[in-house]
Amino acid sequence: GAGVSQSPSNKVTEKGKDVELRCDPISGHTALYWYRQSLGQGLEFLIYFQGNSAPDKSGLPSDRFSAERTGGSVSTLTIQRTQQEDSAVYLCASSLTLGERNEQYFGPGTRLTVT
């Protein structure tokens, strides 16, 4: 079946502009996660959604970052007033539920470059 998809695959934006990154999880997966991968920094947790529960936003680095998940499916990560330090690969993942046993399936990522 189809995996997790993300768009765009690459995004170049000017400092100060807003960007929106999209994630389509695997159909039927109720949990959705966003991570940021910076060179040499590993994966940094940003936010997760589980069904209709309130999302865990504790990993968002600043109030310029926000995310929504509409209809329990597609998610959008928004970065306002982008800064050069926001440049990274943004990865989305989904899992069947939020249960600890369930592995996460990752999308190919969106590479964001802020100039």
Least distance to another protein, CB of residue 34, Å: 12
| Cβ proximity to another protein, 17 vs 113, nearer residue | 113
Q: Which of 95, 115, 113 is nearest to 104 (CA)?
A: 95
Least distance to another protein, CB of residue 98, Å: 5
| Cβ proximity to another protein, 16 vs 51, nearer residue | 51
Which three-class secondary structure state does DSSP give residue 22? strand
| Cβ proximity to another protein, 6 vs 82, nearer residue | 6
Query: Can you read off the two tokens belonging to residue 69?
Result: 């998940």
> Alpha-carbon distance 115 to 108, whole Å?
22
> Alpha-carbon distance 9 to 62, whole Å?
23
Residues engaged in binding another protein (CB under 8 A): 4, 33, 35, 40-43, 45, 48, 50, 56, 59, 91, 93, 98, 100-101, 103-109
